[in-house]
Each structure stands twice: as structure tokens, then as C-alpha cells.
Structure 1
Amino acid sequence: MQPTPPISLVIFGASGDLTQRKLIPALFQLCREGLLPGSLRIIGYARRAKSDAQFRAEQRAGVVAHGRVQPIDAEAWEGFAANLFYHAANFDDPQGFISLRERIEHLETEAGVAAGHGHRLFYLATPPEAYPGIVSHLGAAGLQGATLAQAGSHGWTRIVIEKPFGHDLASAEALNAHVLSIFHERQVYRIDHYLGKETVQNILAFRLGNSIFEPLWKRGYIDHVQITVAEAIGVEGRGGYYESAGAIRDMLQNHMLQVLALIAMEPPATFSAEAVRNEKVKVLQAIRSLAHAPLDQLVVRGQYAGYHAEPGVAPTSNTETFVALRLQIDNWRWAGVPFYLRTGKALQQRLTEVAIQFRQPPLALFSHADHDDHVGPADEMEPNMLVLRIQPDEAITLQIGLKPPGPEMALRPVALDFRYAAGFTDPHPEAYERLLLDVLLGDATLFIRRDEVEAAWALITPILEHWANPETPPPALYPPGSWGPDAAHELIGREGRRWRS
């Protein structure tokens, strides 16, 4: 990072898990690597009373427990911790925000910054119900920053808002309207940490940087696309949160639709933030609406056996811990190519991947040798498949057919593998490291724009409304350690396809 005027970063919710596990360790790692301006001041804002020294000690423990590089460098930590401060106040206390403004101004004056020319970043690492009040109080305290007309000659002000951004279309629209009544869109960074993962960013690099694949990335060559986000654990003590979210809000509406947009978007004219986000929005808006669709044929919801026994879960809860659905993108590139998405808790393994299955060759010239060397008919040949593994064991695998040794002219599926751990020996930066650096640099490419978040909610809200109907059947039960309810296999099986195992 080039030398910049001092930056004040205020983290609302500084006593929370996200701050200690992710944000401060990421900022410290950026500091160690020389990627932060030396003039960055970090102010933790939370309700509990504590001193700067106590706050620094707590955050040091978080870096020791969760930092990417261990052991921590004592000298580097001391330099970083000298710029950590704490501000105790309630989120609903107007005076707390006025005193916050005064403290920021005091730190800027100490650094020799002229009034109104300091850079300020506000990070909302709080429960989502606190977002509207914090935004209102920032505006009332005069902390919303310069107007568009003044922005060229004044310091910048930015605000980062964590997911979930709303809980349906109406609430997302209302939150957007409220935030944008105080800040303008170019100041707002709606964060989805999935977009900070190296393997997610590599989707575009792989697609657009390799002439082998880009010509094949369309309906004439691709049969269907599967996106899987599976977790082996259950809700793990987060039953109270999960009751208000469920799998569709927790994973599908945000992370999975973002991955789908990167897979399906058209090549942007440039890699500028607006060009990339324009193409992602076009994909989300081109997905066929589910408002009047036969949802029971397109969407499956499930719940793992034993979910009702989890702490914080209602004994009659219909909250889904698994969801699978079929989507259709109605544009020239993808017409007729189904996208199958599934996500769930307590599944067979932890796995996030995209599987792109190519069409079979037009002529059946070969028999098929399976793993037991039995020869089957040509139409049972394994199709070519490209698998982009996002986590764990990040990898790219291309499955092709080759003739095994022996007299038969048959095909056997083999895999061409690339594994990130072997190809790139340097440790991968954490997602929050990349995203925090982008905010400080003013690069919004990996953040969600207003129309993008609303397009995603517009797609998902009809499903939520359908499930809220008391006449809708409850979630199908599935045993922990399986791949979800049988209905999920029937969903894809009706069209002669199967989930990748």
C-alpha cells in the first residue's frame, strides 16, 4: 500500500467472535506483511467497559489462537497494538457516537490531519438487528462522510456491512433504502467472505485466462452444473441463530448464488468493480423466476434427524438444515442447461465444489470399462467433468476418458488433477485479509452491490413464502452422515442425472 493519510477503522461489535477470530488476526497479518498504512488506527466499539490495555490483551489472545502465521512476532505485535483503542458505549446511545466522533477527531489531530480530511472506515460486526440503528446514529453524529460533490477534496468514509443483509426481499430493500439515505452506494461495502477465498477468485481466472475452456463454457458443450456446499457437522450450539436463518438464508442466498454468478457471468469488458458486478447482476436477473413455479418439483428441503434436540431449537421446528434446488438461466449462453444447488448440515463430508458436466460425444464409438473392468454399453460412459474444489483440499480436476491397457477399445474415466497446496507452496491469505485490504484501497470488485443483493433475495423469497404456508409439507428427515433426503436424489434423477459422489 502506498503512503496514505491516517485511516481510522471503527469495529462495531469489538467484543464479538468475528472481531477476535477473523478481523484483528487478518489486520495484524496485513500489518506484518507491510500491506497496511502505518497510520491505521483501530477503534473497537462495544458495550462492555474495558481499557485500551484490556482490549489489546484480548485481541492478542485472539491472534495467538487464530492467526494464520505462528508464533506471532512480539515486536510486530507491539507496533500493531499501539494503534488499537477501545470505545465503550451502547449501540443505541446517541452520545456514544458523538464521543466516538470526538475521539476520531482527536486521533486525527494528533496525526496532523486537517479537519474533514481524515479517512474513516466503519465495520459492522454486530448482529443484523443492530445495523439500522448504528447507521442512523452515524448519520446523526455527522460521521457519514463527505457528499458526492465534496468527495474529491475530502477524506473518504466507507462502511462495511456483514451478512445477512436482510432476511427476505422486503427487508433487504428496506435496509438498502435506510443505509443509502445516509451513505451513498460507493461508500457501502456489503461483504461476503466467500468472495475473498483464493479458489473462488480463481473461477474467473481459470475461465477467462485459459483459451482451452472459454470456448466450451456454454450450452452447446455443457450438460449441467452442480454446486455443493456440504458440512459434516450439525449446528454445533448455534441453534438459536439457525432457527432464524436455515440453510437457504445461511448459505444459498449469499455464498452459493455468488459462486453461481461467477460461473455463469459473461466476460466483463474490464476487471473494474462496476464491470464485474454488472455481469453478475445480469446472471442473477436472468435466472427464471420461482414466483409461479411448481416449487415442490424444483426445491427440496430437509432436516437431519436429531436437530430438534439441539440447544435453542424448537421441538416442532420446520427449519431446514438441507436444501437442494434446480435453477434455469434464461439467456443465450445457458438456455436449457440446469444448475443444481445443494447445501446442508450433518452431511457425509465437508465439501464445497462446483462440478461442470460436459455433454457426451454425439457418436457412441466406444464401450465403457468401469472400475471392475466390466464392459458396458456406450451410453453408460462416464462424461467429461470439470470439478473446481473450493474447500477443503483446494483443487481443480478434469475427468476424461482413456483406454486402459488390454485388447478392448473401451474408455475408463481418469482424473487430471491440480492441487493448490502442491502448485502454490506459499500459504494462502485468509479471505478477510484480502477483503479488508480491498476496502482500504477502495476496490469494491469482491463486494455486493445493492441491485445484486436484491436480485438474490427476489429469487429466494418465493421459496420462503411457500415454506411459510402451513399446508406445505415439513422438511424431509435424513440421517446424519448421509447426502441428504432421498427427495434430493429424485430431484436430479428425474432428468436422468445424478449428484457427483
Structure 2
Amino acid sequence: MSFKSTPANIVIFGGFGDLAWRKLIPAFYNLYISGYLPEKFAIYGVHYQGLPEGAYEKHMLEGVNLFSRRGKAKAAEWKKFTDHLYFFQGDFTIDETYTRLKATLDENDKKWKTRATRLLYYSVAPSFIEVISNSVSKHNIAAQREKDRIVVEKPFGTDLASAKGLNDLLNKLFYENQIYRIDHYLGKEVVQNISAFRFANYIFEPLWNSKFIDQVQISVTESVSVGTRGSYYDKSGALRDMVQNHLLQLLSLVAMECPGNYDAEDIRKQKVKVLKKVRPFTTATAIQDVVRAQYTRGEVKGKEQPGYKEETNVARNSTTETYVAMKVWIDNPRWKGVPFYLRTGKSLEKQSSVIVVQFKDSPHKIFKDDVVPNRLVISIQPEQKISLLFEGKVPGLEMKLKPLEMDFSYHDSFIEEAPEAYETLLLDALEGDATQFIRADQVETAWSIVMPILNAWSKEKGDMKKYKAGSWGPKEAEDLIKEGRIKWLMLPESSKTKTTKKK
């Protein structure tokens, strides 16, 4: 039986929340109108408060119209979609909610004459995960190992101990292959293309090692401030919020060995394997090789931006970092001696996610102006492109070199519109494909990398650097990367793809 012929019951705990409004319902709607959902399916948005008749569908339509990549929903298509969309009022903390929910799902199975796939999405605060999981298990709502899936949003723990505790809880109640720990970065089209780029193009494999690569940079920068998320962010910070998951996920994709097959377990095994080879930070290197900073008052995109400590729900004596830059070493034969520079921050000059692979300089300097090493730039956002920098001769009578770029751009190379990350990941979860989701040991390994840094920071309260909102970050981050005889690199603004867009 194919996936599309298998009915599906989809339950969103927190179904009236911001994530459901901005991301999940727009993603399911786009999957539906593109023909990727089964003919028989139902989506239940679970929320503790009651709502007037039609209020749920109206609110979700506003979210689709604002955030869907397709723009405003067509009335006829939305009407058909809402035939499958239901509001389910229920308190997460009482048994009666789960008794009614199970009866509803069982009734659908009876109506559809088959046991449907069940996708339970935890779009809730971390404090609700335990009570929901215990109740789902108690009432046998996700009792079939091969058909029932639990999707858990980040943050997955606040430190190594809490992540282990959460893994222990979930693995006591469900099988590991039922648990889908989601990181939306892994659903982005260019991130998925990293594997295709590396392992389907053998021209790069002989060069993908310490003999030819000088360093790797991974930058995920944000121009937005903490804004209204102060109460959450002040307990988290950039290291927990971004490095522990997004940046280390990108590092594992760039640095992993080729899996034996393109399947979930082989790929996730190689990701964990490379993360386990990251050199552990000591108290000394956590201070020497890691820069933490907070933004102060400045100007972002022409608008005045308050400093972090002036933000709503942020402690006025906060020691929470809004910026991290760090140098990471991977102690295996492929990457011995190659520094990986990671950085992320809020209220910076530009929003951008970029991976830069800097190759070693040419050993044969026969041209006096051969000064720019080859460089591969993988831009995840805002541009979706891969660019290779190389030296070429300028037309003329003299031998004069100039850095040139060969570009691949999704926008110019494909007619097909790239799906949103959540569309990809939700479809994968429905199909039972865990390739782009995070395994328990990968979560714990990532936490074990950052814990020595967090512990060192707890002892070094006065080590917080400052940077002006709207800048590229603190001077100390520039000093860190200058040790590698280079600066932080971004995809040039003037870079334009030379290919002709297909008609």
C-alpha cells in the first residue's frame, strides 16, 4: 500500500498556537493542494480553551494568507481543505481529553476501514511534553510502532541532563523509530542539497579533506532582535538556541563521511560519528576559542533598535548571550588541522545562512596577482545558491587575473518552486522517513559539545562582550578568525547567476 492511499490522522497539540498558525497549517495546506496528502485524512488542532463556531478555521486562514509561500488561499481550495480540519477543545492535563481523542481517531479508522497512520505533533512548551506523552501512552493513542509517529519541536532539553531525561521518558513510552525530533533547518532545500552536492559529484570528494581545505565557516546571522521572545530567550541564549542544534547540524552535514546507503539510519549514524570526533572544549578553550556577546542600542535597517537588556521580559542584569562565535576542531583523519568557524547572532547587519569552504592556496605561485584562494559558498538564505570562486584571466594583452564565480541558483536553474522546510519535514514524517530528523544519540552528543562552554561561562560572569545592533558583531569575533589569516566571509551582494532562467 502506498503512502498516498494510507489514511492519516494528524493531531497538533497546541493547534491554536503561533507555530501552528505560521508554519504547520500553511504547510499542510500547501501539501494538500499539491496532491501530497492522502485522500482520507483529518487534522485536529488541540487547544485547552473553547472557541466560537468557525473561529479556528478563520484564524488558520489568516495564517495561510499571511505566511504561505503561495500567497492567499483560493476560496474553493480552502473550503475543501477545511473539510479535513477540526478544532478539538481539550486540556492536556486531564484524562478526558485523551479518552475523547482516542475515540475520535478510532472512529475514523472504523469509517475508513483501516488503521490510519497517526502523526502527533507536539507544538507545545517543553513543560507539557511529559504529561502529553504519558497520557498518549496510557490511552494507547500511539501504540502501533510502524504507523504512529511523535514529532517533538525544539528546544529538546536545556542541557545534557535534561535532554537525556527527555530521551529516557520518550523511549520508555515509545520506540525510538516513532520519535521525530524536528529541526526545521534540515528541511531547507539547500541544506538537503549538501548531501547531493558532496556524494553525487565525485569531482569534489578527493578535495574534501585536510590536504586541500584550509578552513570551513558556518554563519547563521539574524537581523531581527529578540523582540517579544525575551522571557524564553533570556533563559536560553544563542548557544542553546542556535549552536547546539542548527549550526552543529550543518557542521555534521559538511563534515560527515559518505553513508553506505541513502537511508535514515546510515545517514544519522555518520552524523553522530563526526560529532563524536569534535574536540572537547576545556575551561581554557571555552574562553579562548569562543566569543559571547550581547547587542547594545543601535540601528538595524534604518530603524532604532534598543539594546538587549532594554528588551521586554529581559533581566536588566542579564548575562545571556545574543551572539556566539567559536572555533571547532574535528579530530579525525579527514579533518585533522582544519578549523571550523561557527557564528550566530541577533540584531546583526543582515539575515543570512552561509557555509564557506575555503580551499588552501595554490602551491605554485607563478602569477603575481594569484592572491585569492578557491572558495565554495553554500548560501541557504536569503539566496538559495552554491557559488565556486576561482581565478581567471582578464581579456587583454597582459596576463592579469581576476576572481570569478560559477553559480548555481535554485531561482534561475529550476522552474519548480522550492517547498518550505516544514512541508518537506511533515511529509517525511507522514511517510515514516526519519532521514532529516534527529536521533536520540545525536541530540545528546550535540549537548555534550556545548556543555563545557556553558559550564565555563557560568564561572566567568564578566566575559560578556558587546556589539552595536546593526553591526556584524563584536571585534573579538573578528580577532578570533584573524588567527586563521582570514575574515568572516559572506556571499557577495553583487553575485549574480549567469545562467538563463528556464521558460
Q: Where on the TM-score scale, by shorter chain, does this alignment land: which range? A: over 0.9
**C-alpha distance in 2, partners of 1:283/1:121?**
31
**Of 454, 457, 464, the match for 1:467:** 457
Contact kept in structure 2, 1:401 and 1:413, CA below 8 Å: yes
> Among 253, 276, 289, which residue is 1:285 paired with?
276
SS of 2:236 mapped into structure 1: helix
CA deviation string 1:340-395 (max 9, x = no partner) = 00000111111110000000111222212xxxxxxxxx6xx111110000000111
Q: How is 1:67-82 mapped onto 2 (pairs within 5 angstroms)?
A: 67-82=68-83
1:331 equivalent in alignment to 2:321: no
Contact 2:319–2:461 at 8 Å: present in 1 too?
no
Pairs within 5 Å for 1:276-355: 276-291=267-282, 293-305=284-296, 306-355=307-356
Tell me by how many angstroms 1:126 deviates.
0.8
Aligned to 1:39: 40
Tell me which of 178, 181, 190 is aligned to 1:190: 181
- Could you tell me whether the CA contact under 8 Å between 1:466 and 1:472 is conserved in 2? no
The C-alpha deviation readout for 1:19-58, integer Å capped at 9, x for no partner, is 0111111111111111100111111111111256322222
Q: How does 1:82-93 map to 2 (within 5 A)?
A: 82-93=83-94
Structure 1 CA distance for aligned equivalents of residues 241 and 178 of structure 2 = 25
Q: Does 1:163 align with 2:175?
A: no
Q: Which residue does 1:477 correspond to in 2?
A: 466
Query: 2:445 pairs with 431, 435, 455, which one?
Result: 455
| 1:441-477 deviation line (CA, Å, top 9, x unaligned) | 10000000011111100101111111122x4424201
Q: 1:85 deviation in Å?
A: 1.3
Q: How many residue pairs align between the two structures?
A: 479
Q: Is the contact made by 2:4 and 2:36 (CA closer than 8 Å) also made in structure 1? A: no
Please state whether the residue corresponding to 2:249 is helix, strand or coil: helix
1:487 is the counterpart of 2:476: yes
CA distance in structure 2 between the partners assigned to 1:342 and 1:8 by the alignment: 40
Question: 2:333 and 2:377 mapped to 1: Cα distance?
Answer: 23
Query: Greater CA deviation, 405-414 or 330-339?
Result: 405-414
Corresponding residue to 2:383 among 393, 398, 409: 393
Amino acid at match of 1:214: E
Gaps of at least 5 residues in structure 1 are 369-377
State the distance in 2 between where 1:474 and 1:138 align: 45
Counterparts of 1:16-415 in structure 2 under 5 Å? Answer: 16-50=17-51, 53-113=54-114, 117-146=115-144, 156-291=147-282, 293-305=284-296, 306-368=307-369, 381-406=371-396, 408-415=398-405
Distance 2:62 2:487 in 1: 47
TM-score scaled to structure 2, two decimals? 0.92
- Summarize deviations over 1:112-131 as a string: whole Å, max 9, x none: 33xxx332110001112211
- Per-residue deviation, residues 124-165 of structure 1 (Å, max 9, x unmatched): 01112211111111112222313x6xx5xxxx1110000110
272 and 293 in structure 1: CA distance in 2 versus 1, 3 angstrom threshold? farther
Q: Which amino acid aligns with 1:139?
A: S
Write the distance in 1 (CA, Å) between the matches of 2:136 and 2:367. 68
Superposed CA offset, 1:216-274 (max 9, x none): 11111000000001111211222112111111111111111111111011111110100
1:94 positional shift: 2.1
Contact 2:66 2:72 in 1 (8 A): no
Q: Which amino acid aligns with 2:35?
A: G
Could you tell me how far apart the structure 2 residues matched to 1:392 and 1:91 are?
A: 38
Letter in 1 for 2:462: P
SS of equivalent to 2:5: coil
CA distance in 2, matches of 1:480, 1:3: 48
Counterpart of 2:423 in structure 1 is 433
Measure how far apart 1:109 and its partner are. Answer: 2.3
Q: 3-state DSSP class of the match of 1:495?
A: coil
C-alpha distance in 2 between matches for 1:86 and 1:51: 10
Output the CA distance in 1 between the equivalents of 2:253 and 2:458.
Answer: 30
Q: Which residue of 2 aligns with 1:372?
A: none
Q: Which amino acid aligns with 1:172?
A: A
Partner of 1:482, secondary structure, is coil
Contact 1:144 1:182 in 2 (8 A): no
Q: 3-state SS of the aligned residue for 1:14?
A: coil
Stretch moving more, 188-197 or 238-247: 238-247
